Amino acid sequence: MFTRKKTDTELKVSIVGMNERALQLFTMFLEGPARGSCQIVTNGTHEVVIIDLDGVESPRLWLDLRRKFHGPVVVLSVTEKHLNNAFWVCKPVQAEHFSAAVAKARDALKNPPAAPVKLPEVKPPTPVASARPSTVGGREDAKPHQSSDALEAAPTTTAPAAQLMGEDMDERAQNCCGNLLDSAYTDPKGREELFFNPELTLLGVYRQALKLSAEAGVARIEGLGPYPLYVGAAVNFVSTPMPEPFLRAVCARSMDASPVSVGLIDQEPKKIGASEDPRLRRLDNMLWKISLWSSRGRVPVGTSLTAPVRLRGWPNIPRLMSVPHSMRISALWATQPSGLLETARKLDVPYRFVFSFYTACQSFGLVELQKSSETISGSVADVSAKPVKNEKRGLFGSLLKKLGFG
């Protein structure tokens, strides 16, 4: 295989966490917009590792990497990462941001962080033989004597794996529920950011595709970068060559930023084939994920923050992407209908979990807002002036029954 000669300014890098297709695209990126920044090597002479941390095996990949490699790492992810001696680049990757991260990694090579101090191993003290066992209150002392020196030298217990898993849980929460702080929900002056218009997100486009294909046929969504998205509601079919992290990134952008088209095509699902990413092969799960990622801790414009929410039907939580505390939220809405803000306070959970879960449930017609004596005041009333028409039960009724939500 032909290998381009490394220049003095290029870093030798190894790639971790990318499948064959992603690696091909990333190699093209390095040969194009990011040309001259680094060169991929596979012979173990790498100076820096570039890792994709958006896969389901991300925690394991990171732990495995850090057991073998302690140098600088460039992390590619749709959500911000704060990891030791690692430099985050937001996806979709832009050459400017990537070059900045590579420059930081190069500086880290020149000034590496202090190596962790390895604590000395402490052997258990040898029991001292005595003619008579010591007794306390007439019974033998069950604890052997340890010198104070041994106690002081004993290493403290650390749990890097547990810490990373905790960070991963937080990242998963941000992936599906955004990263809005609780202060945004409690400050009446800043509540405009708690609402979004689904029609300006991929959620609105996906709903349009569901409508078009509700009777028959397959709808194709184009304009989502290099990947089309095929939806066949009547036959419970969805397919796309895009990876899940790319879909998540698309959900975070406004659909009016670039032309997006939806139309029926004369093509059988069998000819289209299944999604390349196995996580994107179910119509119901796709709608659930798109709802969460489009919401990111917000609710559709027109949603009351105080009207009690009643659960009309339980979501199939084991089959769908998990939302933190979703079981507790569901149980509360099923037994004690409560407003969105009130729900978070009652359960003592972050508001963004409640808002995201509500939006996903609303996409399936699983929740309804009851009448409330309270009214939305101030800026919220202005933001909610034009309520979104709730057409799930009528328009998607048959679809929801097929998916097990009717």
Do 101 and 203 sit in the same domain of this protein?
no
Q: Which residues contact 322 (CB under 8 A, 6 or more apart)?
A: 172, 176
Q: Are 80 and 44 in contact (CB under 8 A)?
A: no
Report if residue 280 sits inside a domain. yes
Q: Which residues contact 156 (CB under 8 A, 6 or more apart)?
A: none
Q: How many CB atoms lie within 10 A of CB 197?
A: 18
Q: Give the predicted TM-score (pTM) of the model.
A: 0.56
Q: Choose from 55-69, 274-288, 313-327, 354-368 the range with maximum mean pLDDT.
A: 354-368
Do 278 and 358 sit in the same domain of this protein?
yes
CATH number of the domain within which 96 lies: 3.40.50.2300
What does the pLDDT average to over 212-234? 92
Tens of pLDDT along 72-99? 999 998 888 888 899 999 888 888 889 9
Do 75 and 183 sit in the same domain of this protein?
no
3-state SS, one letter per residue, for 4-46: CCCCCCCEEEEEECCCHHHHHHHHHHHHCCCCCCEEECCCCCC
Report if residue 116 sits inside a domain. no
Of 382 and 95, the one with more pLDDT: 95
What does the pLDDT average to over 194-215? 94
Report if residue 149 sits inside a domain. no
Report if residue 172 sits inside a domain. no
Do 101 and 241 sit in the same domain of this protein?
no
Identity (one letter) of the amino acid at 355? Answer: F
Is the pLDDT assigned to residue 208 strictly greater than 90?
yes
Q: Which two tokens stand for residue 155?
A: 């290493």
Q: Are 336 and 345 in contact (CB under 8 A)?
A: no
Domain count across the chain: 2
Do 82 and 231 sit in the same domain of this protein?
no
Report if residue 130 sits inside a domain. no
Picking from 75, 110, 145, the residue at the C-terminal end of a domain is: 110
Percent of the chain with pLDDT strictly greater than 70 = 74
Tens of pLDDT along 255-286? 887 789 999 999 889 999 999 888 898 999 99
- Determine the structural domain holding residue 103 and report its residue range: 11-110
Strands 218-222 and 73-77: unpaired
Picking from 71, 92, 110, the residue at the C-terminal end of a domain is: 110
Is the pLDDT assigned to residue 368 strictly greater than 70?
yes
Report if residue 144 sits inside a domain. no
Picking from 50, 76, 110, the residue at the C-terminal end of a domain is: 110
Q: Choose from 39-53, 266-280, 292-306 the range with maximum mean pLDDT.
A: 292-306
Report if residue 229 sits inside a domain. yes
Report if residue 300 sits inside a domain. yes
At residue 399, the pLDDT reads 53
Tens of pLDDT along 12-27? 999 998 887 788 888 8
Do 200 and 293 sit in the same domain of this protein?
yes
Is the pLDDT assigned to residue 196 strictly greater than 90?
yes
